[in-house]
Every structure is written in C-alpha cells, then in structure tokens.
Amino acid sequence: MLRRRLNRLLGGDERRVDSRTIYVGHRSSSTTEAFIPPKFCDNRIVSSKYTVWNFLPKNLFEQFRRIANFYFLIIFLVQVIVDTPTSPVTSGLPLFFVITVTAIKQGYEDWLRHKADNEVNKYPVTVLEQGRKIRKESEKIKVGDVVEVEEDETFPCDLILLQSSRDDDTCFVTTASLDGESNHKTHYTVPDTEKDLESLNATIECEQPQPDLYKFVGRMHIYKNEQEPAVRSLGPENLLLKGATLKNTQKICGVAVYTGMETKMALNYQGKSQKRSAVEKSINAFLLVYLCILVSKALVCTTLKYVWQSKPGQDEPWYNEKTQREKDTNLYLKMFTDFLSFMVLFNFIIPVSMYVTVEMQKFLGSFFITWDKDFFDPEIKEGALVNTSDLNEELGQVEYVFTDKTGTLTQNNMEFIECCIDGFQYKYRDANSELDGFCVTDGPVNKVQEKAGREREELFLRALCLCHTVQVKESTKQSQGDGLIDQVDGFGVDGEVPRPPQEQRGFIASSPDEVALVKGAMRYGFTFLGLESKTMKILTRNNDVEMYELLHVLNFDPVRRRMSVIVRSKSGDTLLFCKGADSSIFPRVRQEEVERIRMNVERNATEGYRTLCVAYKYLSAEEYAQADAGLREARLALQDREEQLITIYNQVETGMSLIGATAVEDRLQEEAAETMEALQGAGIKVWVLTGDKMETAKSTCYACRLFQRNTELLELTVRTLDDGGRRREERLHELLLEYHKKAVQDAPPVKAGVTRTWSSATQDYGFIIDGATLSMVLNSSSESNSSRYKNLFLQICQNCASVLCCRMAPLQKAQIVKMVKNSKGSPITLSIGDGANDVSMILEAHVGIGIKGKEGRQAVRNSDYAIPKLKHLKKLLLAHGHLYYVRIAHLVQYFFYKNLCFILPQFLYQFFCGYSQQPLYDAAYLTMYNICFTSMPILAYSLLEQHICMEVLLDNSTLYREIAKNAMLRWGPFLYWTLLGVFHGLLFFFGVRYLFSNPALQDNGQVFGNWSYGTIVFTVLVFTVTLKLALDTRHWTWINHFVIWGSLAFYMFFSFFWGGIIWPFLKQQRLYFVFANMLSSVSAWLVIILLILLSLLPEILLVVFRKPRGPHARQLSEGGLLQTSRLQRSHHYPTST
C-alpha cells in the first residue's frame, strides 16, 4: 500500500521529470484510494489560427507586424491626425484594400483548416467504458480511454496497443499519411496483458510528448490482485500513431496516451521556418534607399519652405492669411508637422501595392509549376508540388546543388546482382530461360568455376533469408490481386513474372535493399515464407521447411550501419546473423576472412553496386543469456534507452565470422546524366552528398558525368589520410595545402560575378571527401587550424567542378550545406533528396526539393518544391526558375521606377507652389495610380513574360548564367532604373512646365489651371509607364494586349467619368471637365505625344544598341547549330546595364 502511494508520488515527481502516468480505462490502481484523474489536454486538433471572435483583432495584429503594412498605417494615421495635403483616403484606401485581400485569403485558408479540423475532431470513434462500447466524437477522447479501432480506420490519437484481433498479438499499420511510407509496419501488443480489458488494471508511465515519430519509451505496470505489479517495457512498436491507418487487422483496442495537440502528428505539424528569397532581400535594400530618398526629399522641402517663408510677404500675403490655429501653433511643432506632411505627400514613392503584386505574382505564378505537364510522372500519377511559393525566383539563382545519391541520382529500385561467398563470386546470370537456371538443386548457380563449399553457400543463403525485417504479404489478400502488391513497394513488377504460386508472394520492407536480398536468396532456392508468432519459416532448396525462432532483432540504424537477428534453430543452436556495410562489419569479424572478400566488395563498389557484408556467429548458451538479459534490460530503460541498446548491440556483434557479401544494383534515374550536364552547363556546381560508400558513389558520379574521364580527382578520405603512414592530422594538413595549391592557386583566376568564363580548357577537378575526414576538417583539434582548414576546404571545393561527399550522416549533409551557404558571397544553395536522411539538408538549403521517391514522403513534406523525378530539376531550374527570376526582378525594378517618376513631378512642383505641400495630382489619381492604372499590366507581365522561350532556355543551359548572382537586382540595374525614373519625372514636369509658361492653351483663349497641369503630367505618366512596359514585353499573349490597352482605355474612361459628374461626396470638384477640356486642346495633345515619345526614345535606342539576345538565341536553336551557338556565346553576355 505504502509502496503504491510512493509510486503515485513518484509518478507525480516523474511527471515533472519528463514522464506522465496514465491510468488505463481511468481505473485507479487501487479501488480504495480516491482516484484523481490527471489533467491532460483533450483530443481536439486545432490547426486553425483564428476563431470567429478573434479573427479580426488577431489577423490585423499579424498583418501590421509586417513592417511595410505598419509603415502605411503610420502614414495613414499621420494623415488623419495632422493637416496633410492629401486626404487620408489616398493612403487609407490602398491599405484597406491590401489588408482586406490578405485577410480574406488568410480567412479562407483558416476556414479550410477549420473544416479539416472538424472532419478529424467530429469523426465518430468507439470507446470502451465500463464494458460498454460507446460511440463518441473523436475530440472527446481523454487520455486513458480505451479506444477500439477497426480495419482501415485511422487512429484518433496516439494509442498503446493492448489487444489485437490477430492471433499473434500484432497488428499492421500504414503510416502513409504521416511519413508517406506505404509499407505495412507491424506493431505489437503489450506482452502478457489480460485478454479481458474490463479487468485490466494498469498504469502506463511514459515520456512527455515529443515530436520524433520513431521514438517512444514507456513502461506499463499491470496490477493483478494485490501481487507485485508486472512491469512491461513499451517502445515505438507498441505505439499506434494518430493519423496512421490500421491494415490487415480486423480491430484493435488501445489506450490513449497522447491526445489532441500532444500527439506526435500534431507536434510534427509545426510549420517550417520561413525561408526568405534573395529577391526579397534586394527589395528591402531598395526600399531602404527609397526611404532615404523620401526622407531627404521631405527634409529638403521643409528646409526650403522655411527659407522661403522668411522673405517678407511670402509667408502670409494679404490674399492668403493663415487661420487662427495656424498662427497659434508652436513654430517647431509646425516644422515637424510640415515634415510629416511632406512625407505623406511623397509617400507614394514606396508603393503599398508592390507587396500585394509581388505576393500575387508568387502565388499565382507557382501554379504554373503544378500545372506543368512535363512534371507529370505517369508512374506515380502525380505532378510537381509547390509547398511554398515564396521561393519561385530563387530557382533561377541556384549556384550550388546538393544532391542525395540513393533515390535521387539513382532509382532506389534494387536488384540483386551477385554475391560472393568466401571470396568466390556468384553471378546470377539470367540465361534465356530465366527461371529454371537457379532452380537447379545441385549447386547454387551454374556459374563460376570455383565454388565455396555447399555448407557455406547454404549458410549464406539462410543468413539472407533470416537477417532482415521483411514481411510477407498476406496470401489471404491474393484475391485483391497484383494491383495491391504493386502499390506496396513496386517489387511485384520488378520481380519475375511467371512464378509457381507459392513464390508469387509480396515482400514488404522499409528498405528496398532487404527485399532485393530476400528475393535474391529466393532465386538461389531459399525462400522466406514468413514470420509467424516469432518463428521464421524458410523453404530450402530441397523444399524442406525450416523453422527458426526469432529471439531478437538488433535493428538497423544509420550510425551502426548494420542490423542483426538472433535466431534459434530447430536443433537448438543460437545463431546471430549480421549484415551491414563493409566498414561496419570488417572490424567485427575475424581479420583473416576479410581480405578474400574485401577485394570483391571493392570491385562491386567500383561498378556502382551497393554492397553489404554478411556475417554470423554461434552464440553459446551463456553468451546468449547474457545478451538476452542485456537487451531486455536496455529495452526497459526509461532514460537513455537508445544509448544503452547501442552499447549492448555493439557488445553482441563482435567476433563474428564473415560469410560473404552481396551486390545490389541501383540503377540511375532517367536522364540523370543529361540533367547533371545541363546543371553544370548552367554554371551550377553539383555536390553529391551521400551516406553510401566512396567507390559506389564515385562510380555513380562517373555514370552521371559529374566526373569526366579527364577530371582529376582530389581525394581527401580516410584512405588517403592513412597512406603516408603518419598521423592523420599532419597528413590532412599536408593534403589540404597540396590540393589548395593545385585547385586554387594554380588555377587561372576566375572572374567573379556574371561574366564567369565559360568552362575553359583548364583542368577540371573533382573533390572527394568522406564523413570521417570532414568531421576532422570541421572539428580540428586546435581552434586556429579548424577555421583555416575550413577555409582551405571551402576554397578547394569551390574551385572544383563537382564535389562528392560520401559516408555522410544526415546532420553532416546539413553542415556542409550550411557551410557553403554561409561562405563568401552567400551563394544560393539547393538541396534535392528523397529520403528522411535528406530532410536536414533540404531544410537547411535556400531551396529544398523533395523527390517523390520510394523512401517515404518525409523529404516531400519538408521540401519547398517536390518533383516526381530528378530529370524534372532541369526544367524547374533552367526554364521555370529563369523565367520567374526575370519576371520578379523586372516587377520589382519596374515598381520602384514607376513610383519614382510618379512622385518626382510632385516633388518638383513644391518649388513652384511655395513649398506648401500642394499635390500636383488629384486625390483620385494619387489613389488609383498604383491600384488600377498601372498594376494590371505589370502583373500580367510578371506572370506571362517569356523573354526567351522555354525550349531555348532548356537547350542552352548557359543562358542561366546570365542571371546568376542576382544579376537583374544588383545596384547597377537598380541605378539604371532609378535614373530612368528620374529622367522621366524631370521630363514630365518640365515639359509641361514650359508648356504652361503660357497657360492659354485652348483655341478660344481660355486658360488652364493647376489641375489641368497635374492631369497632363499624369496622363503622360500613365501612358509612358505603361508603354515602357509594353516595350519590355517580349511575349505578347492576348492577355498582355488586353491588360495593357485595357489599362490605358480604363484610364481614359475613368478620367472622363470622374470629371464628368459633380460628385456630391467630394468637397471640391477639382477635376470637373478638366480632362475633357485638356483633350480639346491641341497643344495638350501635342505635348503629351512629344513627352511620351521623348521618354521612350532612350529605351528604344538601348534596345537597338544592346545585342539582340533573345531572338538571337531563338534563331540559333531553330537552326540547331550548336557550333554557332558556341561561337557566338561571347555575344550573349550583356554588358550589365
């Protein structure tokens, strides 16, 4: 009794120390004690951000946290409070528009989330309460409830599996919706729980919720009639995750341990950190410049105003007296409000609408990626996926591509090629009759002359059959046919087609290598029949069924790079079979065996195969007992279970003897080589980061043409380090210096920036480094060396055509990406990968691309863009990326330009109106300029422009270099656009100014006033700005025509309309018939035409003088003359404007 109390107390303590106690079925461990249910959150999933009540305040708050919106809010408030030249409407309306549109978009998205949440939360589930089954809504599940789930239902919360309808106390689960792995995973009930859940009296202690899907530690105390409670360990194999689906099992019962927002799914839902594109950074820099211009303009005007006013008679002539309030105001306060007024007057120079337009452009533009039918893969029946539209233009700026090997460069479609047993090579040759070849009973293969002993062969094949975690697809599902099998892992198709019925079985495994191996063994006559209640059955060559009791599985993990099983054969021998990477196996076997096999392994690796070594050992009874105890103890540990397990694993997996090795081929992805070549042609450096062995990776690199025959390889691996026979540190130092001299110092100086020389005749270098060496480079013993090595390493790498990093742990991949990302010039990086091990580098890089491959969907979920195949990367970067970049860069520059020449005349006008903040344009024009008159053409341009058509972009990958390093948004082009804006602004203002030196412009002698002045300037402005865009448009679809001419027509129509009516809500009818009168004046027409033409003249000239690039390239590709395209490549480089 006391002890239980203590337990409870401890439980309470433990909760604070990261664990929680759950009472199964809410039954306290003792009936006598008062039961206080612990408080946990309910099972509601809330992914929505807002409710109906808090939407408005919360959304507004979020929106005004953006610096731009806040700025406009301040301007608006200034307008409301201070007496400013323009009415608050002029900035309030656009701001309101922006805020409303954004709020509607976010509201709609949130509504969708609410709907999705409700669907999940209101889903009916069955809960067992006091022996009765009660249907409940999913959100009402509490921690401790016993929940019943039927086949093909998803689990409503994280459950500990208590009972399964299957005899072997297992159930199958697919986590496709969580991590995309569509294979069936086996989960186990807690051992020795009572069949009658009613009388089960147990508590579960487990860790506090944490997001790792594959980690769970807990402990279950089962109380039975006052006995000492039985303790069972709980691991991830007992935990059914919310969101996963029950398969192949009629129903299960489980107790809820984590609910609602504490489930692993919900914890994993957290949004990714926002990535910002380089363009956005440029925008912010430009914004700062314009802000400075704005402030200095306001300052100049304020100063001049007071200088001007100091002259007698200017400040307050008799015809223009100040109001009493103005006279009373403090001089300094007046100066300040004057400054604010000028700020307000000129604030249109920073356009609100630019943010909206940029966002719309990105959002709408990203649809073109999803719509692209070239990205559609008929095999998986999916196209590209855009997870974020913020980075579209970044695709056109990539300088470094980090690619995974397995599944990305290669297909991850494994095929058993050969094996070697005791140093003898067995090659599976598909003779003409592919099946009968290996069914022969004598000798495994009719192949190589020399063979290992039959015993060894069989041992090897048995090892292949036993040492894995493959499941056999239920034969009961046969009725559902092949389609289902295909779905599972695609092995049904690559397996041999006509087969005796018993061999027509599917295998399910999380790693395709394992399936390949099991199938390989099957070819040699050893068939794995399945695992039934801890017994593995295999069918031997002689058609005997052998049974092995599966005692332990020492799981695979990427650090150990091996896995083992401990089985007990019928004869009572306890055997350990181990398979794994050579580097992790060789040190653990008897050394004399190694040499024979190492040769084979290395040869296979150079051929590009994935190799695994197989080893075994007999365990004596004591050894086994010791291992068994250790494993059990470690599995029960609540803390540091992983570490303890690994220690035990390492203890057990020693002193084995090597039997043989296998070679599995992983074929290259379609067009992998072409894609890589195109990327290199585009000036992108490709780095391969793989966990695979150096030899395999190297051969893949050769196959992908990342390394050419004439590429000189600079190797920095454990092997080269060990060569010299000296300390590794010294050797590393020496090699780094040597390579640095070779690749960096001796290389001809490469011109930085846009005009990088087109891969010249100089020696290409390839660089190879492995994980161990990398960590030596990065974490060198002495502090000073470390940064120096890092620098040397980076410089070498950056001067190499391609870099191969092998034996990388996932974190190391991210480290490399980070290192390059933060190196000088902060190049734009792109990571592409398909597996969970690539997630870290996908998240780290500027742009993360996931491949919808076989290794689950984790990479896709964490990526910014997902494509079905590697080959699609070429179009994504060279065509889409290029176009997006050009579009958005032009959009940004154009926006700044058009607002500069919009506001400059207004600024100049201050010099003629006594610095009185008199606006030049009517309020309607001020408001509508950015919203209506000039916004649509640029939006259409930024969505549809193809200054070079896609085919040409794809054919000439060098075109990609033209926009490298943010070429269109550097200070040069920015200065050009700014000067253009200034030129236009000056021209508009002074052109009309000289016209107005005699304001009698009509043929009836009547004169024009200030609003006519403004309207003429504004008309010139709208036309010039729109026609400037028209000049820049190289791709006129009907939409462009419609929008450009439509905008101008709309301007005319609006001006007539606006000036045609006495608007009752306006205080002043400033524009009444101003526009119509303007059009009745021939002089006004003439000056408008003159000024438009004059402003566009330099532009036209520039177009002519600039070497015609687009059309040039187009003609070339039509001619298909690669030769000429190379000859004339020198013309392609624009003298950066």
Partner 1 sequence: MMASSYNAKEEDGHNSGASNNGGAGVVKSKKPDNTAFKQQRLPAWQPILTAGTVLPAFFVIGLIFIPIGIGLFVSSNNIKEFEIDYTGVDINNPCYNCAKNFSWNSTTPCVCSVPFTLEQPFESNVFMYYGLSNFYQNHRRYVKSRDDSQLNGDQSALKNPSKECEPYRTSEGQPIAPCGAIANSLFNDTLELYHIDSNGTRNTIPLVKKGIAWWTDKHVKFRNPGGNNNLTVAFQGTSKPVNWRKPVYELDPSDPENNGFINEDFIVWMRTAALPTFRKLYRIIQKKSSTTPTLPSGKYLLEITYNYPVLSFDGRKRMILSTISWMGGKNPFLGIAYITVGSICFFLGVVLLIIHHKYDTRNNSPDIPN
Residues forming the annotated binding site for ATP? 404-406, 514, 556, 579, 610, 690-692, 807, 813, 837-838
Which residues neighbour 998 within 8 Å (Cβ) at sequence distance 6 or greater? Answer: none
Site for partner 1 in 276-315 (CB under 8 A): 313-314
Position 329 contacts partner 1 (CB under 8 A): no
Position 483 contacts partner 1 (CB under 8 A): yes
Catalytic, 640? Answer: no
Position 1012 contacts partner 1 (CB under 8 A): yes
Part of the chain binding partner 1 (CB under 8 A), chosen from 27-35, 562-570, 834-842, 1101-1109: 1101-1109
Least Å distance, CB 90 to partner 1, is: 14
Closest by CA position to 1016, among listed 913, 942, 922: 922
Known binding residues for Mg(2+): 404, 406, 834, 838
Pairing of strands 609-619, 574-580: antiparallel
Position 1101 contacts partner 1 (CB under 8 A): yes
Which residues neighbour 747 within 8 Å (Cβ) at sequence distance 6 or greater? Answer: 762, 763, 799
Could you give the CA distance from residue 165 to residue 177 in angstroms, rounded to a whole number? Answer: 23
Could you give the CA distance from residue 702 to residue 673 in angstroms, rounded to a whole number? Answer: 9
Position 498 contacts partner 1 (CB under 8 A): no
Site for partner 1 in 931-960 (CB under 8 A): 944, 946, 949-950
Least Å distance, CB 1114 to partner 1, is: 8
Number of Cβ within 10 Å of residue 585's Cβ equals 24
Position 382 contacts partner 1 (CB under 8 A): yes
Could you give the CA distance from residue 891 to residue 1029 in angstroms, rounded to a whole number? Answer: 10
Which of 926, 1087, 1088, 1116 binds partner 1 (CB under 8 A)? It is 1087
Binding mask 914-933 for partner 1 (x = CB under 8 A): x-xxxx--------------
| DSSP assignments along 194-249, one per residue | -S-GGG--EEEEEEPP-S-TT---EEEEE--TTSPPEEEEE-GGGEEPTT-EEES-
Position 151 contacts partner 1 (CB under 8 A): no
Position 364 contacts partner 1 (CB under 8 A): no
Part of the chain binding partner 1 (CB under 8 A), chosen from 268-276, 708-716, 826-834, 1011-1019: 1011-1019
Position 1090 contacts partner 1 (CB under 8 A): yes
Least Å distance, CB 371 to partner 1, is: 4
Site for partner 1 in 1027-1086 (CB under 8 A): 1031, 1033-1040, 1062, 1066-1069, 1072-1073, 1076-1077, 1081-1083, 1086
Which of 371, 618, 971, 1057 binds partner 1 (CB under 8 A)? It is 371
Could you give the CA distance from residue 248 to residue 1020 in angstroms, rounded to a whole number? Answer: 73
Closest by CA position to 894, among listed 1089, 1099, 1132: 1099
| Nearer residue to partner 1 within complex by CB, 215 or 667 | 667
Q: Considering Cα of 394, then 397, then 403, then 407, what sign does the dihedral take? A: positive
Could you give the CA distance from residue 1087 to residue 988 in angstroms, rounded to a whole number? Answer: 10
Closest by CA position to 969, among listed 276, 277, 283, 275: 283
Site for partner 1 in 877-916 (CB under 8 A): 912-914, 916
Q: Considering Cα of 512, then 516, then 521, then 527, what sign does the dihedral take? A: positive
Which of 235, 236, 973, 1110 binds partner 1 (CB under 8 A)? It is 1110
Least Å distance, CB 1113 to partner 1, is: 12
Known binding residues: 404-406, 514, 556, 579, 610, 690-692, 807, 813, 834, 837-838
Compute the C-alpha angle 792/795/799, nearest 5°: 140
145, 372, 404, 582: the catalytic one is: 404
Least Å distance, CB 383 to partner 1, is: 5
The amino acid that residue 354 corresponds to is M
Site for partner 1 in 63-92 (CB under 8 A): 85
| DSSP assignments along 464-520, one per residue | HHHSS--EEPPGGGGGGHHHHHHHHHSHHHHS-SS--GGG---EE-SSHHHHHHHHH
| Nearer residue to partner 1 within complex by CB, 37 or 1108 | 1108
Position 804 contacts partner 1 (CB under 8 A): no
Least Å distance, CB 834 to partner 1, is: 18
Least Å distance, CB 381 to partner 1, is: 5
| Nearer residue to partner 1 within complex by CB, 148 or 382 | 382
Radius of gyration of the chain (CA): 37
* Residue 580 · residue 551 · CB < 8 Å: no
Closest by CA position to 1060, among listed 1081, 1080, 1075: 1075
Total residues at interface with partner 1 (CB under 8 A): 105
Position 993 contacts partner 1 (CB under 8 A): yes
Binding mask 662-701 for partner 1 (x = CB under 8 A): ---x-x----------------------------------
| DSSP assignments along 809-829, one per residue | -HHHHHHHHHHHHTSTT---E
| Nearer residue to partner 1 within complex by CB, 47 or 606 | 606
Which residues neighbour 245 within 8 Å (Cβ) at sequence distance 6 or greater? Answer: 152, 153, 154, 155, 173, 174, 175, 176, 177
Could you give the CA distance from residue 778 to residue 788 in angstroms, rounded to a whole number? Answer: 10
Position 1006 contacts partner 1 (CB under 8 A): yes
Position 433 contacts partner 1 (CB under 8 A): no
| Nearer residue to partner 1 within complex by CB, 105 or 322 | 322
Give the tokens for residue 879.
């065509």
Closest by CA position to 608, among listed 720, 493, 690: 690
1053 CB burial (10 A radius; 0-12, 13-18, 19+): exposed
Position 317 contacts partner 1 (CB under 8 A): yes
Position 762 contacts partner 1 (CB under 8 A): no
Q: Which residues are catalytic?
A: 404
